[in-house]
Amino acid sequence: MQTQVSQIHFDTLIIGSGLAGLTLALNLAQSRRIGLVTKQALLDGASGWAQGGIAAVLSEEDSPETHIRDTLAAGAGLCNEAVTRYVVENGPRAIQWLITQGVPFTRDHGSETGYHLMREGGHSVRRVIHAADTTGQAVQRTLSEKARTHPNITVLEHHVAIDLITGAKLVHPGRNGNRCYGAYVLDSAAGKVNTIAAHNTVLATGGAGKVYLYTTNPDTATGDGIAMGWRAGCRVANMEFVQFHPTCLYHPHAKSFLISEAVRGEGGLLKLPDGSRFMLQHDARAELAPRDIVARAIDFEMKKRGLDCVYLDISHKPANFLREHFPNIYSRCLEFGIDITRQPIPVVPAAHYTCGGIVTGWDGKTDLENLYAIGETAHTGLHGANRLASNSLLECLVFGQAAAEDITSQPSAPPAELLQWDESRVTNADEEVVISHNWDELRRFMWSYVGIVRTSKRLQRAQHRIKLLHEEINEYYANFRVTSDLLELRNLVDTADLIVQSAMLRHESRGLHYSRDYPELLPEARDTVLKR
């Protein structure tokens, strides 16, 4: 007996409500009926946590060639130069769209642009437009309000996508199997699974930072879209390149609080407990080196000296300047007894950004017909082996708009008749403690064995543990009703497996992937592409 739930239909189903998903939804809503699925509340994704800003060529001292050159340098030879040019050249238009939506970027009436631009690590000029130090929050709030009130956008909060629906799940399976027809989605509040049909389905679920014990990401970043796309048959690329942000606040009660790149961009210095600087011993660019170099330098100094953390000191700048430019960081640190106008900030590296993802074209299309992936979920070729600071929100905007243009150019089509979700042979879970234990084990061994510095032996250990977890979770999934915790754990284990597989295939050290067994750079830069 199958669960009796009526089939829901949208023209476009968007899974994920971060900047990529919202950009796409608002650009499509004039001509399409949109279903916007989000795991928690509309504002709970990773985009809202972005502090620094959005990189774009906005001033006369800057140029597309300079932005492209900085991006390629950070990407360590693996950026797709044509894609990079496309993103950079479309950056100003994307920023202008946000301004017309009402995003309150920080003003500077004395500048040529009328907006204050910051410089961050890896950038050769000031080009990061921002809203104080809560840019992501300002952008998300502005766009979320528009999405929530738009008559053609249905927001499905507290809904968790389970799997994509491909040809095998059609009532009449003779049709094209290499195509996406929608998704099965758990309404976690009601405890039921809905079958949602859509002419186009878009994965915009963000990254997978929660696969690691320490991360700057919110709890929602569990690799859902990457795992679902992989299970449906999409290629996945460059998953070994996990960016560890160098400066996460080190405090037992400061869960996942990021200290923005912009603090170093505005003159913050990294120091040891005795007050001495160390970055110049690792790179001539010192604190303004790309994130992978800074994160490895901090990791090296901590391990060498047995330190729990290092310190980021910007107390030499005027107090009013710090309170004006970093109000969120100032107030949050103050909650933990740290006055950044007088004291250095204790920091450690933490998993921050997934550079790899589902392989897409310039329009966000994946290997499956009518399935798109945008934002951190996708591998576009922009970031290469290491993402340049503040290029992530730019990518969300540009590819969100590109996917909207492609979808709009297509004729609408009637929904396919889909098989309903079947839970006639499962029961309620007997011991949910298994999920929490497996979640904890996964994040700990990923941090220990697949972190900032890797070895072949560590990767083999991780792979062995992932195999055991896979077996346990698949058995659990087959026998018990799905819950949001089980679905996230299932996706995290699949994503961890992809990271380890990719890392084992790269026999060099490049960008964010550093191996003690293969410390040299190979002469030819190649993507790591996985196929099922």
The full DSSP string for 342-386 is TSPEEEEEEEEEE--EEE--TT-B-SSBTEEE-GGGEE-SSSTTS
Structure tokens at 199: 């002419």
- The secondary structure of residue 32, as a DSSP letter, is S
Beta bridge partners of 312: 270, 345
Burial class of 174 by CB neighbour count within 10 A (0 to 12, 13 to 18, 19+)? exposed
Burial class of 12 by CB neighbour count within 10 A (0 to 12, 13 to 18, 19+)? buried
| Cβ–Cβ under 8 Å, residues 234 and 368 | yes
Distances in whole angstroms, Cα of residue 347 to Cα of each of 118, 138, 197, 211, 311? 21, 25, 46, 20, 6
Burial class of 52 by CB neighbour count within 10 A (0 to 12, 13 to 18, 19+)? buried
Q: For 288-346, give the secondary structure using H, E and C.
A: HCCHHHHHHHHHHHHHHHCCCCEEEECCCCCHHHHHHHCHHHHHHHHHCCCCCCCCCEE
Would you call 69 a catalytic residue per the annotation?
no
Q: How do beta strands 371-373 and 192-203 pair? A: parallel
Pick the closest to residue 332 from 273, 249, 264, 267 (CA basis): 249
Among candidate residues 33, 127, 291, 387, the one labeled active-site is 291
Tell me the H-state helices in 372-521. 392-408, 433-449, 456-479, 484-505
Distances in whole angstroms, Cα of residue 509 to Cα of each of 193, 282, 477? 44, 16, 37
| Cβ–Cβ under 8 Å, residues 353 and 372 | no
Q: How do beta strands 345-354 and 242-249 pair? A: antiparallel
DSSP H or E segment with residue 261: helix 261-265
How far apart are the C-alpha atoms of 333 and 257, rounded to whole Å?
9
Burial class of 228 by CB neighbour count within 10 A (0 to 12, 13 to 18, 19+)? buried
Enzyme catalytic residues: 291
